[in-house]
Amino acid sequence: MKKAKYLVTFLVMAFMLILTACGTSETSGNGSDDSSDEKKTLRVVTDAAYAPFEYQDKGEIVGFDIDLIKAVAKEAGYEIDIAHTGWDPIFVELEKKIADIGISSITINDDRKKTYDFSVPYFLSTNKIMVPEGSPIKSAEDLKDKTVAVQNATTGQEAVEGLLGKNSDQIKKFENNNLAIMELKAGGADAVVADNTVIEEYAKNNPNDKFVIIEDKDAFAQEFYGLMFSKGSKIKADFDKALNEVFDNGTYAKIYNKWFKVDPDVQLLKD
């Protein structure tokens, strides 16, 4: 009887040990450990609330960026694990080297280059303004006495700060872009400023919201998206090479066509 009790205790403990082992192996960060040559599964982080680039569909992370990073990682010979962390954590994880790659319609700019490395550019974008049909807003200048919703810590926020002043209380900042759009819908803001493709797609796919898009080339610069890495990342070279491969072998055009129904201007990215 006593023996049986020991056996049960032993089995329970062994089982618990196995469980703990599985748990830790799953959560242990696989950041940028350079100590071995063996290719580890890379942690890719994204803010999957930016359709059509990255969003969630029935619990799955999908989008142009997602197809692209899968193709590029395959080309480079790496396994990846894509996590929806939200926007701000992308920057935190890459700075702390918890993640290996950020792909999230991230604009390459000088400020970010101080802290991160970027791949070659893979997409051309610009900020545009989304307003309700019939809005008096016709240009960026017209935003000056209006309330504008943006996603926090984006180039959209920066551009609007340039127009309204850095501490303007007319700027409403949200953790993700969908919340900014909801604010516009609810009448809490007069406009949303965000990457053109995202708001153009939104306006097109949600005709009942009756939103229109305003372009202002003088106010909003051209931007290029890049994969973002930790400073000094050892994998950047492999991914640049793979990106160029994917540009040249038609894979990029295939993915672009799937999402945007037109052919890309690959040369533009290379110039």
Cβ closer to ligand ARG: 106 or 192?
Answer: 106
The stretch among 43-51, 162-170, 203-211, 212-220 that binds ligand ARG (CB under 6 A) is 43-51
Cβ closer to ligand ARG: 102 or 264?
Answer: 102
The stretch among 98-106, 132-140, 213-221, 251-259 that binds ligand ARG (CB under 6 A) is 98-106
Cβ closer to ligand ARG: 40 or 84?
Answer: 84
Cβ closer to ligand ARG: 190 or 223?
Answer: 223
Residue from 43, 50, 101, 180 binding ligand ARG (CB under 6 A): 50
177 interacts with ligand ARG by CB under 6 A: yes
Residue from 66, 71, 102, 107 binding ligand ARG (CB under 6 A): 107
Could you write out the DSSP letters of every residue in the chain?
-HHHHHHHHHHHHHHHHHHHHHHHHHHS--TT--S-SS-PPEEEEE--EETTTEEEETTEEESHHHHHHHHHHHHHT--EEEEE--HHHHHHHHHTTS-SEE-SSPBP-HHHHTTEEE-S--EEEEEEEEEETT-S--SGGGGGGS-EEEETTSHHHHHHHHHH-TT-TTEEEESSHHHHHHHHHTTS-SEEEEEHHHHHHHHHH-GGG-EEEE--TTTS-EEEE--EEETT-SSHHHHHHHHHHHHHTSHHHHHHHHHHSS---HHHHH-
196 interacts with ligand ARG by CB under 6 A: no
Residues 244 to 263 in contact with ligand ARG, rule: CB under 6 A? none
**Residues at the site binding ligand ARG, with contacts judged by CB under 6 A:** 47, 49-50, 54, 87, 104-107, 151, 154-155, 177, 195
